[in-house]
Structure 1
Amino acid sequence: MSAAHHAAAPAPGPAEEIGRLYGAHHRWLLGWLRARLGCPDQAADLAQDTFVRLLAHRLGAEAGTEAGTEADAHAATPREPRAYLVTVAGRLVANHFRRLSLERAWLDALATLPEAQWPSAEQHAMARQALHRLDAALAGLPERARRAFLLSQIEGQDYARIAATLGVTERSVKRYMAQAFEACILAVD
């Protein structure tokens, strides 16, 4: 036989690796999510989103690296797959609850308005989308920049007080605020 016949089979592609992970752990992940969310439909959606994110990440990582490296071959099959899935799904659960909290705050604010001033269904949908984009932008910021922004915009603190709270200089607070404002502007454009 030639050496080609003795060569190892090619490493499975990202879809196959994620497919194996899905087959082995989807049911378990679904149960884990149901316990946290209390809603089987939402749990099913977030379980699916978990695997979609893993696949998208894996495909993105593969496109950005040399194909065929050993690290690539094992990136989709972590040593502790359930811990890995819990990390990814846990972030999705946190995002889900943060979005619900934002929507509740929005609805509470609307409830204070006279009915004649309520936004139309289209305006309401646009506002919800903008809130979600802003939330995602803030979630992507470094922790100190996010905290500085929230302390300023939600709690009304001045930069000197924020600096003291965060244990940084006012110059750092200004830099954090610039980061946060830039992220917000980019999110709503």
Structure 2
Amino acid sequence: MSTVAPDGAAQKGLETLYREHNSWLHGWLRQRLNNAADAADLAQDTFIRVLLARTAATLNQPRHYLATIARGLVIDLYRRRSLEAAYLESLALQPEHYAPSAEARAAILDTLIAIDRMLDGLGSRTRAIFLAVQLDGLSYEKTAEGLGVSVSTVRKHLARGLMHCLLFEQA
């Protein structure tokens, strides 16, 4: 990750924003998460996002802006934990000699999170079509029949999903 050195005004704005709102944000997150460590981590992540966006000096409603960023980070945290729990549950069903190493588990979990993030950027119909064809291995015809759409709609949404994957990978 690259470091961003803010200019003087931006740095002063960020320092002021942090000093005036960090305690409030930390408390706001602690109430929602019921976990002081997670709240502290997400508060810091929120201010890092503000730093990277270079918006600290121009905020009219700083608490609203911070809460919006933090809310998204909370959703990401819960989504990641849910994926991790589902993955660990599926691992527990496997014979022990098939269990991947800790490093492989971490890499697989990171990949699952990246796939989830990528799929989240698709519309619901595009996601359903993409998963039916790519994950379930259904033909275009079976997918169209199962979702009540035309084959040309399946083709169009699958192309949109594949393009999204390519663009997501390049980002």
With the length of structure 2 as denominator, give the TM-score of the two structures. Answer: 0.76
Pick from 16, 23, 29 the counterpart of residue 19 of structure 2. Answer: 23
What displacement does 1:91 show?
A: 0.5
User: Which structure 2 residue ranges, 5 or more long, are not aligned?
Assistant: 1-6
Aligned partner of 1:136 in structure 2 is 117
* 2:14/2:56 contact within 8 Å kept: no
1:95 aligns with 2:76: yes
* 1:159/1:174 contact within 8 Å kept: no
The alignment-based identity, stated in percent, is 39
What displacement does 1:99 show?
A: 0.4
Structure 1 CA distance for aligned equivalents of residues 125 and 19 of structure 2: 39
Structure 1 CA distance for aligned equivalents of residues 66 and 28 of structure 2: 10
Aligned partner of 1:104 in structure 2 is 85
What displacement does 1:30 show?
A: 0.4
In 2 relative to 1, CA 18–140 (structure 1 residues): closer, same or farther, beyond 3 Å?
A: farther
Pick from 144, 147, 156 the counterpart of residue 159 of structure 1. Answer: 144
User: Which structure 1 residue ranges, 5 or more long, are not aligned?
Assistant: 1-10, 59-73
- Note the alpha carbon deviations across 1:62-111, whole angstroms, 9 max, x for none: xxxxxxxxxxxx77432221111111110000011000010011011101
1:117 aligns with 2:98: yes
User: Please, what is the CA RMSD of the aligned residues?
Assistant: 2.9
Structure 1 CA distance for aligned equivalents of residues 53 and 153 of structure 2: 32
Q: Which amino acid aligns with 1:14?
A: A
Aligned partner of 2:37 in structure 1 is 41
SS in 1 for 2:58: coil
With the length of structure 1 as denominator, give the TM-score of the two structures. Answer: 0.69
Q: Across the two proteins, how many residue pairs are aligned to each other?
A: 158
SS in 2 for 1:13: helix
* 2:26/2:39 contact within 8 Å kept: yes
1:85 aligns with 2:71: no
In 2 relative to 1, CA 178–108 (structure 1 residues): closer, same or farther, beyond 3 Å?
A: farther
Structure 1 CA distance for aligned equivalents of residues 30 and 98 of structure 2: 38
Structure 2 CA distance for aligned equivalents of residues 123 and 178 of structure 1: 31
- Note the alpha carbon deviations across 1:109-143, whole angstroms, 9 max, x for none: 10110111111122111101111211222233445
What displacement does 1:148 show?
A: 4.4
Aligned partner of 2:49 in structure 1 is 53
Structure 2 CA distance for aligned equivalents of residues 28 and 143 of structure 1: 36
* 2:129/2:143 contact within 8 Å kept: no
Structure 1 CA distance for aligned equivalents of residues 19 and 43 of structure 2: 12
In 2 relative to 1, CA 107–147 (structure 1 residues): closer, same or farther, beyond 3 Å?
A: same
